[in-house]
Amino acid sequence: MSSHRSPAVARLRRARWMMTGLVTVITATAVLVLGFVAATIDSHSRAIEADRQVEKVAAGLARAIQHDEKNALDLSTVIDDELAQSSTAVVVLVREQGQPWKQSHTYQRSLMPADSEISTLATQVEDNSEGALYKSLRRTSTDITGRSVIVVGTPVYWTDWDNIVVILAADQSMDNPDQHRMLLWALAIGGLALIAVSTAAAYLLSGRSQSQALRMLDEHEQFLGDAAHELRTPLTTLKLLTESRPKPDEVQHTLAEARRLADRMARLVTGLLARARMQTGIAEPERTMLRLDQLAEAVAEEAADERILVTAHPSVVVGDPQLLGLAIRNMLENGLTHGAVNRSAPVEVHIAEGRVSVRDHGPGVDPVMSASPFNRGSAGRTGRNGIGLALVAWVAQAHGGNASIEPAVGGGTIATLWLPPADLTAGTPTGSRM
């Protein structure tokens, strides 16, 4: 049934897609939140590191500023300092009282703002210091290419020198921005991969979890089909009996026949329910030591058809009486149905050594169903559905045996049910796979 477009299967499929979609949304949300948090933390840490580096350069170079005995500014120590040779831009500005700022030394000029803004920044550093030595000022600006940069200025004063020196250090507002971009790409690609994997896993796992439900739907559909097949004939017969208006002297016989049909339908329903419970794992086949020949004789007697001829030899097996009776009954009905072309021809039943064989004298095995006569739904020459033979094969397998149907010598077919013989010393079947 799982392959059909039934409403139940359609609902299960919708539920599967809904679960998959829900897992995908949850995973995507979690990935986005975690990615945003990771990117924010990385950006913040890199910005802090960039600030620390710029402030380190500005403060370190400010302490390296010197002037000689002639009050001339000595920048040799600044130029040769490792701090002035890193990736951080450096500008040394000098101003005499009442004079504009002059750039005495520049390094990595492209990371610095325009000249006018550099002068403005130097003035702000001087004003902010309020005469205090090495009091730094931090500003965010843009370099001459338009990129965002951090600029830190540190003033230098001497009591014996009238000039004011300001060291400006500038760098990008984030340390190693290329690495940050690589991190963002890694988060994006990794997040998409994680979402794809979680979606695929959710789809597969939801399908796996629903396989049991689909199997239950299959079993439910099969049970309904088998019940309809098995009950159709007795219900039709019962309807004919109730509509026949028997004569007064035939009432008791009609009632007895009706009771027999009702008992047969009850046994059929019980057997089908047992089969359905076993296929779904709710129950296991009953393991009872029984006489297969007596069971087959009882089923043949219940059929009450004068064409049935039984040849029985004592045969002891271990199995479920209801299921075995259902299988033998289906074999007999199959023989009676396909042997109906010759109403006088017998249906021969032979029981020996755990084997029940039913031979009819009908038209033989239909080539259409000869390759798979026990497949549920196969139909013979009469056009009847082959559910009965499918039940025979299932009962045989449930008892560790097998079933076969083949042409008989002289015409007709032979259907055979074989069960492992019982171990009379242990009370269990030899070679059983139950």
Cα separation, 153 vs 133, in Å, equals 12
DSSP β-bridge partners for residue 289: 318
Q: Which CATH number fits domain 1-213: 3.40.30, 3.30.450, 3.40.50, 3.40.720?
A: 3.30.450
Average pLDDT of span 77-83: 83
User: What is the pLDDT at residue 24?
Assistant: 92
Give the integer Cα–Cα distance in Å for 155 and 157. 7
SS3 142: strand
Return the amino acid letter for 347. V
Q: Which two tokens stand for residue 2?
A: 């799982």
Q: Which CATH architecture does the domain made up of 284-429 adopt?
A: 2-Layer Sandwich (3.30)
Tokens at residue 264, please? 């047969």
Region for 81 from its dihedrals, namely left if φ exceeds 0, alpha if ψ lies in -120 to 50, beta otherwise: beta
3-state DSSP assignment of residue 167: strand
Please tell me the distance from the alpha carbon of residue 20 to that of residue 362, in angstroms, as a whole number.
Answer: 55
> Could you report the per-residue pLDDT of 202-211, keeping only the tens digit for each?
888 888 877 7
Percent of the chain scoring above 90 in pLDDT: 17
pLDDT of residue 32: 93
Residue 114 has pLDDT above 80, yes or no: yes
**pLDDT band at residue 31 under the 50/70/90 scheme:** very high
Residue with tokens 């760098």: 171
pTM for the complete prediction?
0.50
Q: How does pLDDT run across 2-27, given as a tens digit for each residue?
A: 445 567 777 888 888 898 999 999 99
For residue 360 the two structure tokens come to: 């009819």
Higher pLDDT, 389 or 120: 120
Q: pLDDT digits over 237-289, tens only?
A: 778 777 777 777 777 878 887 887 787 777 677 767 776 777 666 667 778 89
Query: Quick one: pLDDT at residue 432?
Result: 43
In the chain, where the domains are located: 1-213, 284-429
